[in-house]
Amino acid sequence: MTRNRESDPEHIEVMLLGTFHMDLLWLADTDIESDDMLTAGRQAELRDLTDHLEAWHPDRIAVERPYDEIEAVNDVYGKYRSGEYAYDREETFPSSHSARDELESECRSEVVQVGFRLADRLGHDRVLPVDEDPGRPETDVFDDRTTDSARKVSVSVPDPEESSDEQTQGLASLSLLEDFERMNENEPRDASALMFDRAIRATGERIGSERFGSPVDLAYWYDRTLRMVHHVWRTAEPGDERVLLLVGTGLVRMLWHLFDQAPMFRPVNPLSYLS
Question: Is it the case that residue 26 has pLDDT exceeding 90?
Answer: no
Phi (first) and psi of residue 80, to 5 degrees: -70, -40
Mean pLDDT, rounded, for 66-78:
95
Residue 260 has a pLDDT of 95
Question: Is it the case that residue 224 has pLDDT exceeding 90?
Answer: yes
- Contact status, residue 171 vs residue 179, Cβ threshold 8 Å: yes
Interval 138-167: pLDDT, tens? 666 666 566 666 778 877 776 666 665 566
Residue 95 has a pLDDT of 76
SS3 state at 106: helix
Residue 34 has a pLDDT of 47
Question: Is it the case that residue 122 has pLDDT exceeding 90?
Answer: yes
Predicted confidence band of residue 268 (pLDDT cuts 50, 70, 90): very high
Residue 152 has a pLDDT of 80
Handedness of CA 116, 126, 61, 130 (dihedral sign): positive
Mean pLDDT, rounded, for 174-185:
91
Predicted confidence band of residue 137 (pLDDT cuts 50, 70, 90): confident
Give strand pairing partners of 14.
243, 267
Instruction: Provide the percentage of residues in the chain whose pLDDT is more than 70.
Output: 73
Question: Is it the case that residue 105 has pLDDT exceeding 60?
Answer: yes
Question: Is it the case that residue 227 has pLDDT exceeding 60?
Answer: yes
Mean pLDDT, rounded, for 45-57:
97
Least reliable range by pLDDT among 62-76, 77-91, 183-197: 183-197
Give strand pairing partners of 79.
none
- Contact status, residue 37 vs residue 43, Cβ threshold 8 Å: yes
- Contact status, residue 175 vs residue 50, Cβ threshold 8 Å: no
Question: Is it the case that residue 61 has pLDDT exceeding 90?
Answer: yes
Specify the pTM: 0.85
What would the DSSP string read from start to end of 188-249?
Answer: HHHHHHHHHHHHHTB---EETTEE-S-THHHHHHHHHHHHHHHHHHHHPPTT--EEEEEEEG
More confident residue, 275 or 171: 275
Instruction: Provide the percentage of residues in the chain whose pLDDT is more than 90.
Output: 54
Residue 25 has a pLDDT of 66
- Contact status, residue 42 vs residue 176, Cβ threshold 8 Å: yes
More confident residue, 268 or 25: 268
Residue 211 has a pLDDT of 52
Give how far Cα 87 sits from Cα of 100, 122, 182, Å: 20, 16, 24
Phi (first) and psi of residue 68, to 5 degrees: -80, 0
Question: Is it the case that residue 36 has pLDDT exceeding 80?
Answer: yes
Query: How many DSSP H helices and E strands does the chain contain?
Result: 9, 7
Question: Is it the case that residue 275 has pLDDT exceeding 60?
Answer: yes
